[in-house]
Structure 1
Amino acid sequence: MGIPSETPLRLLAEACNAKRIPYELFNQRQQESWTVTYDFRLPGDGMLSNGTRQLKLNDCTGLYLRTMDHTQVPEYAQTKKQVGINGMYEKLFQLIDSESDCKITNPPSVQMSNNSKPYQSQIIKQYGLDIPDMCITSNEDEAREFMAKYKAAIYKSISGTRSIVKQVDEAALQNLHKIKYCPVQFQECVTGFNVRVHVVGQRAIATKICSNAIDYRYARAEGKQTTLEAYDLPAHLAEKCIALAHGLHLPFAGIDLMITNDGRTICFEVNPSPGYSYYELNTGQLISHALADYLAN
C-alpha cells in the first residue's frame, strides 16, 4: 500500500515479480476507490478493496504499509469524498492493528515508539546496545555544562520528525538561548563508521557507511562524500538487533549503529518505516527480496 513510483514500493513489486510472488497493489493515488470493511468482533474477516479486487485480510500472507499522510496526496484536495476517505483510513488502521493471520510491516500503533527518541533510547538499552551520552534540556546553562564535557557535541530533534543532525558550532552557540522555547537533544559526538542494519523477520542485513559528514544522509548537500558497502555484522550484534526490532514489534526495521573508534557499538535509533532503497541501490544488497520472502512465507 502506497505510492507505486516511490522506490521502496517499486523495488518490492519488482522483487515479487522476480520471485513470482502474487501481489495486489493498493495505489494511494487512487485511495478514493479503496474500501474497508471492519468488524471488531471478527477482525480477520475484514475486507480490503482497491476498487478492482477485494481481499480478506486473513487470506493475505503479508501487507507492506508505505502510505503517506493521505490528506497530502494530490488527489485528496480535488475530491468531494474527503469525509469518506477519512473514515476509510480509520477503519483501515483499526483493521491492521487488530490480530490476524496476515504479517503487517508495520502497523501505525507499533510505529509510535519512534515519536519519542528518549523513550526509544530506554528500550534500546534494555536489549543490550549502548546509546550515546545525551542531555535533553530547554535550559541554556545545563546544555553548556553538558557540552563542556566533550570535545564536540551534536544536536537533533527529540521527536520522530526528521531533522538534520548538526555539530554544535559557534553559530549554534549564538542561538543557544532559543532552546527555552523547545527542548533540544544534545549528544556526545562519537566518531567511527555508521552501520545501518535492516532487520527483516529473523534476518539482519548490514550496510557500512563511511562519510565525512556528520549526517551522511545529507552529505551531498554539504559538498561531502558518502560510500556504502555490505558489512559482515558480528553474530552477537545481529542477535541483539533482531531482538530489539521484535521487542518493538517491528518485524521490518532500520537500526542505526556506529562502530566507534574506541571500540564501542552505539545505537542511535530504530526506524519503523525504513527507506531501504537507498542502501539497496548503492550496495546491491537485495533487501527488497528479503522483504518479499518474509511477507510471502
Structure 2
Amino acid sequence: MHAERVGGHLAGRGARVTVFDPQDFPVSARLDLVYLANEPVRRVLRCADGTVDLDAVTALWWRRPMPPAPYPELTDPAVAAYTAKECESLVTDLWENLPCRQLPARESVFRRAGRKASQLALAAELGFSIPETAITTDPESFLDFRDRHDGRIVTKPLYIPWIDDVGGHLHVNRLCEPVSTRDVAYADGLRFCPVIVQERIPKRLELRVTIVGDRVFTAEIHSQTANRSSLDWRRYDTRVTPYRVHRLPDEIAERCLALTRRLGLAYGAIDLILTPDGRHVFLEINPNAQWLWIEDLTGLPISAAICDFLLEGP
C-alpha cells in the first residue's frame, strides 16, 4: 500500500514509475549489464512494467524488497540456493552503484543504520537522553542490571522481532516485554543469544518522528490510555488510542535530523518517549519503517514529502 500511495503521487505529477520486486528476478525479469571498451556502462532492466534504462533513473526507493527467487524447476535445494544467492549478489551490487538519489539510502548504508547498539551510542553522542541499557549474553550481568533498577526493566530483541517456523509461518512475534519474577528463573538462557535490557521509562506520550530529507513529521501516540499499548504502542489499539500531530521542540527536531544525517539516511522513523517530567528519551530509529497508518490517522503528508524528495533528482 505504501508503494501504491507514493506511486500515485508521482504519476499524478508526470513521473514515470517502475515497480520492480527483486523476487521476480530471474524468473520473470531480466537484467543486462554490459561493459564495452570506450563506451559507457549499459544497465537495463526488463520487467512487467517494461524496459528501463537504469542509468537514466533519477531516483530509487527501497520499499522492503524481497530477495530473488530461483526457478521452480531447480529441484536440487543446493543448486536453487546457489542461483538465488548469485542473483541477490548481482541485484545488490547493481543498486549500490546506480548514480541516482536513493531513499532511505544505498542498501549498505541503511542496513548498517539499523544496528541498534550503534544507534544508541550515536544518539547519546548527539545529546539524546537514552534509557540505561545492557546488551548481554551474561546471566549475571542481566541480574545485576535488574537489581540496579529494582526489577523495573524490559527486554527487546536486538535485530529480528519474530521467529518463523520451518514452514515459514509466523510462530513468535516479540516486541518490548516486561521482565517478570518467573522470567528471572530462566536467566541462564541468555547465554544462547544476546538481548537488549533497558530500564523501564515512565511515559506521558510516545512519539513517532518521521524524517524525509530535511523535513520532520511528528505524531504523538497516547499509548498509556490503553493497557494493550501501554508498554509498546506496536500492540496497536487504534480504537481507543489517540494519535495526533505533535510539535517537537526545535532542539529535539534538530537532533533527530542530525541523527539521520550521521547515519547517511534520507528517511528514518525515530521512536521517542516523552516522560511526565518533559524529557525526550530516544529508543531507536527504523531506517525503512511504515508510515501510512500515521498519515491516515493524523493527516501528516509523509507520502507527498517522499514524492517531493524523489522528484528533486540527483
Paired residue type of 1:24: T
Task: Give CA deviations for 1:93-145 in whole Å, capped at 9, x if unaligned.
Answer: 11221261333433321122255321221122233322211112222232122
Label 1:52 to 1:225 Cα distance change in 2 as closer, same or farther (>3 A). closer
Paired residue type of 1:183: P
Q: Who is 1:35 aligned against?
A: 30
The answer to whether the 8 Å contact 2:114/2:287 transfers is: no
Label 1:183 to 1:44 Cα distance change in 2 as closer, same or farther (>3 A). same
Paired residue type of 1:289: A
Greater shift, 88-97 or 43-52, is seen at 43-52
Task: Give CA deviations for 1:120-176 in whole Å, capped at 9, x if unaligned.
Answer: 211222333222111122222321221222251110112254541111122322322
Tell whether 2:57 aligns with 1:46.
Answer: no
Between structure 1 and structure 2, the one with the greater Rg is 2
**Within-5 A mapping of 1:127-142:** 127-142=126-141
Tell whether 2:192 aligns with 1:177.
Answer: no
Secondary structure of the residue that 1:96 maps to in structure 2? helix
Tell me the CA shift for residue 202 of structure 1. 0.9
State percent identity of aligned pairs.
22
Secondary structure of the residue that 2:100 maps to in structure 1? coil
Secondary structure of the residue that 1:278 maps to in structure 2? helix
Task: Give CA deviations for 1:27-70 in whole Å, capped at 9, x if unaligned.
Answer: 55644232333469999753333255232334222111124432
Secondary structure of the residue that 2:155 maps to in structure 1? strand
Q: Whose helix fraction is larger, Structure 1's or Structure 2's? A: 1
Paired residue type of 1:166: E
Secondary structure of the residue that 2:31 maps to in structure 1? strand
Label 1:43 to 1:237 Cα distance change in 2 as closer, same or farther (>3 A). farther
Gaps of 5+ in 2: 163-173, 225-229
**Within-5 A mapping of 1:207-286:** 207-212=219-224, 213-220=230-237, 225-286=240-301
1:87 and 1:130 mapped to 2: Cα distance? 43
Task: Give CA deviations for 1:202-236 in whole Å, capped at 9, x if unaligned.
Answer: 1111111111321111144xx99533211112222
The answer to whether the 8 Å contact 1:57/1:100 transfers is: no
Q: Who is 2:197 aligned against?
A: 186
Q: Who is 1:63 aligned against?
A: 60
The aligned length equals 286
Q: Who is 1:105 aligned against?
A: 104
1:50 and 1:195 mapped to 2: Cα distance? 40
Which of 150, 155, 175 is the aligned partner of 1:164?
175
Tell whether 2:1 aligns with 1:12.
Answer: no
C-alpha RMSD of matched pairs (Å): 2.9
Q: Who is 1:96 aligned against?
A: 95
1:14 and 1:99 mapped to 2: Cα distance? 24
Paired residue type of 2:126: Y
2:148 and 2:84 mapped to 1: Cα distance? 52
Paired residue type of 2:154: I
Gaps of 5+ in 1: 1-6
1:235 and 1:120 mapped to 2: Cα distance? 21
Paired residue type of 1:126: E
1:171 and 1:262 mapped to 2: Cα distance? 32
TM-score (norm 1): 0.84
Task: Give CA deviations for 1:240-283 in whole Å, capped at 9, x if unaligned.
Answer: 21121121111011111112223321111111111111211222
Secondary structure of the residue that 1:159 maps to in structure 2? coil
TM-score (norm 2): 0.80
Paired residue type of 2:179: V
1:286 and 1:264 mapped to 2: Cα distance? 27
